[in-house]
């Protein structure tokens, strides 16, 4: 088990009402959490590890800025060509006895990544992946899948493609705080972009998304630079902690501390569920998280 350190995070403005009510009226039964998958896209750059962040309209439990991801869907249970580690192997990696659930999370992760970025972790065999997913034709397919006009598994079967589960790495399991009205139980995965693919925004829905240097984002965490660049009403003037959920910020810290993609992806992580707790500090409600202090042998900077 990794050494854990207590961390405090600001409460996002949209959660303050629910948090205050929960705190004042005593704990109640939390609302059921929706199952979700998210993929941390990674690439090396001269300034360090970069990851793809996108803007999420509304008050998403994944954060205002987040890694690609979203809720699992019923179609994630459909039959699909499968290449790479088996669902049983994934269940063991994710620390669950529910093989079907592990399989759904993996398929959901690959589907969500495709919908939101066009990056497709699929191919005809273990040696190849799809190339050139930036075409107008592929965009039409992404829109159809996002609008649930076609299922992701149908599109793969029609093209003789199978999901390449060997291209995913398990990261961590984060759950939304108990008091939140909209709660996610999210499995995070990591992946690099296959050859001749590039992430892009979903036509008609994507507002902002780009590669972000983890080191730079963490160095500027107390400024409003990133939020001002996104330029939305609920991002301008906000710091990194106000834009990201604690889980995303901690993952970004670990990327900043890691010595490149290979080091980050090869680091052995044990299955562990992280969940922010509501605490009162000096009369102010905050989120408390116990998070691992190190990554890939590199001590993590304390805040």
Report which of 146, 164, 145, 165 is spatially closest to residue 155, judged by C-alpha positions: 145
Model pLDDT, residue 3: 65
Average pLDDT value over all residues in the chain: 92
Percent of the chain past pLDDT 70, that is, above it, reads 95
Q: Are 188 and 194 in contact (CB under 8 A)?
A: no
pLDDT tens, 77-131? Answer: 999 999 999 999 999 999 999 999 999 999 999 999 999 999 999 999 999 999 9
What tokens appear for 188 in the block? 């995070």
Structure confidence at residue 39 as a pLDDT band (50, 70, 90): very high
| pLDDT at residue 155 tops 60 | yes
Q: What is the 3-state secondary structure (H, E, C) of 116-176?
A: HHCCCCEECCCCCCCCCCCCHHHHHHHHHHHCCCCCHHHHHHHCCCEEEHHHCEEEEEEEC
136 vs 293, which has greater pLDDT?
Answer: 136
Cα 119 from Cα 229, distance rounded (Å): 24
Report which of 176, 180, 116 is spatially closest to residue 152, judged by C-alpha positions: 116
Model pLDDT, residue 213: 98
Q: What's the whole-number mean pLDDT along residues 201-225?
A: 96
Task: Tell me the pTM.
Answer: 0.93
What tokens appear for 22 in the block? 């929960």
């Amino acid at each position: 088990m990794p050494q854990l350190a207590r961390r405090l995070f600001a409460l996002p403005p949209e959660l303050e009402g629910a948090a205050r009510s929960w705190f004042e009226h005593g704990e109640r039964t939390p609302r059921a959490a929706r199952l979700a998958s998210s993929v941390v896209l990674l690439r090396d750059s001269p300034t360090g590890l970069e990851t793809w962040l996108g803007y999420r309209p509304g008050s998403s439990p994944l954060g205002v800025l987040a890694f690609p991801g979203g809720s699992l869907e019923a179609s994630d249970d459909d039959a699909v060509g499968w290449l790479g580690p088996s669902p049983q192997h994934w269940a063991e990696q994710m620390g669950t006895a529910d093989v079907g659930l592990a399989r759904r999370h993996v398929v959901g992760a690959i589907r969500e990544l495709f919908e939101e970025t066009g990056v497709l972790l699929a191919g005809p065999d273990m040696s190849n992946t799809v190339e050139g997913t930036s075409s107008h034709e592929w965009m039409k397919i992404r829109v159809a899948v996002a609008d649930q006009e076609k299922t992701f598994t149908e599109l793969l079967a029609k093209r003789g493609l199978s999901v390449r589960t060997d291209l995913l790495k398990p990261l961590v399991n984060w759950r939304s705080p108990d008091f939140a009205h909209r709660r996610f139980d999210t499995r995070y995965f990591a992946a690099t972009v296959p050859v001749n693919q590039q992430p892009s925004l979903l036509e008609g829905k994507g507002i902002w998304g780009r590669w972000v240097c983890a080191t730079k984002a963490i160095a500027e965490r107390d400024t409003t630079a990133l939020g001002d660049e996104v330029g939305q009403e609920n991002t301008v003037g906000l710091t990194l902690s106000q834009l990201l959920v604690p889980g995303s910020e901690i993952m970004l810290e670990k990327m900043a501390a890691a010595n490149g993609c290979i080091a980050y992806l090869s680091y052995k992580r044990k299955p562990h569920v992280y969940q922010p707790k509501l605490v009162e500090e000096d009369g102010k409600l905050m989120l408390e998280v116990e998070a691992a202090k190190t990554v890939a042998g590199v001590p993590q900077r304390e805040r």
